[in-house]
Amino acid sequence: EAGVTQFPSHSVIEKGQTVTLRCDPISGHDNLYWYRRVMGKEIKFLLHFVKESKQDESGMPNNRFLAERTGGTYSTLKVQPAELEDSGVYFCASSQGFEQYFGPGTRLTVT
Amino acid sequence: GNSVTQMEGPVTLSEEAFLTINCTYTATGYPSLFWYVQYPGEGLQLLLKATKADDKGSNKGFEATYRKETTSFHLEKGSVQVSDSAVYFCALHHGSGNTGKLIFGQGTTLQVKP
């Protein structure tokens, strides 16, 4: 069974540009989460989907971030326009029960 | 609000040394507690968990006991190996039922030297 996959693994963009991160959860998992780790600090929750609906988006930092989950399958996280402080590692996780399974993360660098 | 505090890293040990990584938490109620590990170039993996007070989670020689009285969940291993070099994250589960977000500590980097 394939795990959670994320694309791209790395992205380097300039301030003001747009970047879209993608997450493919484990097949059949209704719950999908986005987290972010900035500058070696703690991993912080961004939002939680149940199927295609946003269950909790309390961690989204501002309206430059837009998350979607079309058809309740894969999810995208778009940052537009990107700022320097958006640099970090973005993790996706999925679950059907209690345990969350994480992807390898996307390292975003905004210069 | 809920939070998790881990000891500052990096932690550098020689092979076969004893490991302790401290973790304390602040939470309402009694959340489930976790240790996740991130090996170089890989994603986060669940290492162990405990769902109620006095539970001991264990896996791959690592152990952690859920201590309600000290609000702690310290990670220990009796004899570390070079392959244990990784970043370790303590986390608590915030939510009802089976879903809900994880709240993480800042991570502790462990380097084990041969």
What is the H or E stretch that residue A8 is in? none
Do residues A14 and A68 touch, judged by C-beta distance below 8 A? no
Closest CB to A103 among B43, B98, B99 = B43
Judging contacts by C-beta atoms under 8 Å, the chain A residues touching residue B49 are: 99
Q: Which DSSP symbol is given to B15?
A: T
What is the H or E stretch that residue B72 is in? none
pLDDT at B97: 67
- Beta strands A106-110 and A10-13: pairing type? parallel
Count A/B contacts: CB-CB distance under 8 Å: 58
Judging contacts by C-beta atoms under 8 Å, the chain A residues touching residue B89 are: 42-43
How many angstroms separate the most distant Cα atoms in chain B? 44
| φ, ψ for residue B95, nearest 5 deg | 160, 175
- Beta strands A88-95 and A101-102: pairing type? antiparallel
pLDDT at A2: 80
Query: Which residue of A26, A34, A51, A102 to mutate against B (max B Cβ within 10 Å)?
Result: A102
pLDDT digits (tens, 9 = 90+) for A29-83: 999 999 999 987 889 999 999 999 999 999 999 999 999 998 889 999 999 999 9
Task: Report the candidate in A69, A39, A44, A76 with the shortest Cα–Cα distance to residue A54.
Answer: A69
Task: Give, for all 114 residues of chain B, the pLDDT tens digit.
Answer: 889 999 888 999 999 999 999 999 999 888 999 999 999 888 899 999 999 999 999 999 999 999 999 999 999 999 999 999 999 999 999 776 667 899 999 999 999 999
Do residues B47 and B62 touch, judged by C-beta distance below 8 A? yes
Could you tell me if B101 lies within 8 Å of chain A, comparing CB atoms?
yes
Alpha carbon B93 to its chain centroid, in Å, reads: 13
Tokens encoding B110: 């462990």
pLDDT at B98: 66
Percent of chain A with pLDDT over 70: 99
Chain A residue nearest residue B5, CA to CA: A42
